[in-house]
Structure 1
Amino acid sequence: MCRHLAYLGPVVELRRLLSEPEHSLVRQSWEPRRQRSGTVNADGFGIGWYAEDDPVPARYRRSGPVWSDLTFADLTRVVRSGAVLAAVRDSTLPGADGEAAAAPFSDGPWLFSHNGAIRGWPDAAAPLAAGLPPEELLRLAARTDSALVWALVLHRLRAGDDLGTALAEPVRELATAAPGSRLNLLVTDGVAIAATAWGDSLWYLADAGARRTVVASEPYDDDPRWREVPDRTLLTATRTRVELTPLKENSP
């Protein structure tokens, strides 16, 4: 469920990433090619992007399908950025908080998306939620599993963890607490990207010569340079480098 994408590279019009490619994120909202759970991503969408010399990203989110939004085409035609995170949503539970539940979630310089679901939600995640400070629980963006995952990641980012550690540790904890969960996470600060493959597809396209990296749930075109990330792997990337690190569940 859900599809997402992060881009670092030369400044481009957003439509070149999100709607113009043959198998773009927009098309993936109704016709994903490699999605392992669910078939249509029509329960919301969002775009986050960074402007030059501004570390805090802007966002545009809506609760309905991206193909029905008349503003989307104009926005992606005129907005240009060298760092983007976007997602289309298939909700775990119907009617859960609308636009507030649509990725990307944000705080300060960070944008975040969760592709998947916590099995046994909400009971299975309750022990991890109890470990967060009460004020952080009260600031949850929505009453969804993705919002809680974001709170767990954000707690680590604020404590000083790097992007990769801030994703990897919550994935391990959630996989132990709720086996069978799908935990494909994606985060960027506009300079680097971190992502996990855990239960669903994840791919990347690296072009160091052009200083361009794309990380996505699935390829948006048929460029032969796309590479699939093995399941249970942490990906960390910049514009010129991609690293893959195997992830293991915590011991009981």
Structure 2
Amino acid sequence: MCRWLAYSGKSVPLETVLFQPEHSLIDQSLNSRLGHTTTNGDGFGVGWYGRHSEVPFRYRCLHPAWSDTNLRETARAVRAPLFVAHVRAATGTPTQETNCHPFRFGRWLFVHNGLIREYPLLRRDLMLAVAPHLFRWIEGSTDSEVMFFLALSFGLERDPGGALEQMAGLIEDVGHRYDVQFPLNMTVCVTDGQQIVAVRYSSETDSRSLFHSTSFRQLRALYPDDPRIIAAGDNAFLVLSEPLIEVQGVWEEIPEATTLVARGGEIERRRFVPRMPSQSA
């Protein structure tokens, strides 16, 4: 399907995570070990937050990540304290730049792995649920982007976790009305540059893989001379589709139906329960 990651910590060059680890995201674009597709070559994107910018920066491209020399140069030059990255394996929508993640609205970035099953059948009903003032900002044709704008419609900027639950609840309700047994499979991440909110959920309780780092202090103890780990700091955090290195105890799998919120070195987990949107939303 797709592979993605999100990093927060001290400012590091993007290449520290995207290119340098043994099983980096760029390696995963060619050699995914845990994904439903081994190759994720239908475009990529990176989004990051600058010191003096209200709106996050993005670099998206419809070409495979492994062959894009400009991505390598960008990842070497840009440093950021929080960024997300995504490599895409298309599920029925065109390979074009506007369909590449991350999707952006204001300060918010969104990435997704998974699918809305029978999306062409459900698409009209779902798009009509997007708030009118947001509808004109939808640029592409993916189910992922519609999921983002549904969450925005349901209050993502006020309550990210609650908005994602309402988004999932609506998709399942519409899907069941059209006799789709398991409408939704997703790992998603949203961030406003201050927090990372990640969810692992699927209607059939068989979600795509998702992990988070356990402790960069532990990594520093294991690799005391690694400048990349030192630069990231003890409070650094990663949430990602697949581990970047094969070291026991460094990664923890996020359980099914779980919301994870990371902010300022603190991690909170809670159960993810889809629900229908409230009347106020």
Equivalent residue of 1:39, what SS?
coil
Aligned to 2:221: none
Q: CA deviation at 1:211?
A: 1.6
User: For 1:42-86, what per-residue CA distance to the aligned partner results, in whole angstroms no more than 9, with x for missing partners?
Assistant: 000000011123232111000010011111111111110100011
Q: 1:206 to 1:240 in 2, by over 3 A?
A: farther
Equivalent residue of 2:83, what SS?
strand
Question: 1:83-94 maps to which residues of 2 (within 5 A)?
Answer: 83-93=82-92
The CA distance in 1 between the partners of 2:264 and 2:214, in whole Å, is: 8
Q: CA deviation at 1:249?
A: 4.2
Determine if the alignment matches structure 1 residue 28 to structure 2 residue 31.
Answer: no
User: For 1:197-225, what per-residue CA distance to the aligned partner results, in whole angstroms no more than 9, with x for missing partners?
Assistant: 12211110143761211111111112422
Q: CA deviation at 1:8?
A: 0.7
Amino acid corresponding to residue 57 of structure 2 in structure 1: A
Amino acid corresponding to residue 210 of structure 2 in structure 1: L
Q: Does structure 2 retain, via aligned residues, the 8 Å contact 1:176–1:249?
A: no
Question: 1:70-149 maps to which residues of 2 (within 5 A)?
Answer: 70-93=69-92, 95-96=94-95, 98-149=96-147
The CA distance in 2 between the partners of 1:84 and 1:50, in whole Å, is: 7
RMSD of the alignment, in Å? Answer: 1.9
The CA distance in 2 between the partners of 1:170 and 1:2, in whole Å, is: 20
TM-score, scaled relative to structure 2? 0.82
Determine if the alignment matches structure 1 residue 163 to structure 2 residue 189.
Answer: no
Aligned to 2:178: none
Determine if the alignment matches structure 1 residue 53 to structure 2 residue 57.
Answer: no
Q: CA deviation at 1:177?
A: 3.0
User: For 1:9-52, what per-residue CA distance to the aligned partner results, in whole angstroms no more than 9, with x for missing partners?
Assistant: 011010001110111110110111111x2221100000001112
Aligned to 1:248: 273
User: For 1:137-165, what per-residue CA distance to the aligned partner results, in whole angstroms no more than 9, with x for missing partners?
Assistant: 3331201111111111222346x432222
The CA distance in 2 between the partners of 1:248 and 1:142, in whole Å, is: 28
Of the candidates 188, 200, 205, which is equivalent to residue 191 of structure 2? 188
Q: 1:87 to 1:247 in 2, by over 3 A?
A: same
Aligned to 2:209: 201
Q: Which runs of 5+ in 2 are unaligned?
A: 176-181, 202-206, 218-233, 277-281
Q: Does structure 1 retain, via aligned residues, the 8 Å contact 2:129–2:150?
A: no
Equivalent residue of 1:195, what SS?
strand
Q: Does structure 2 retain, via aligned residues, the 8 Å contact 1:200–1:231?
A: no
Q: Does structure 1 retain, via aligned residues, the 8 Å contact 2:165–2:274?
A: no
Q: Which runs of 5+ in 1 are unaligned?
A: none
Q: Does structure 1 retain, via aligned residues, the 8 Å contact 2:93–2:142?
A: no
Amino acid corresponding to residue 31 of structure 2 in structure 1: E
Question: How many residues are aligned here?
Answer: 248
Aligned to 2:256: 231
Aligned-pair identity (%): 35
The CA distance in 2 between the partners of 1:17 and 1:239, in whole Å, is: 19
TM-score, scaled relative to structure 1? 0.91
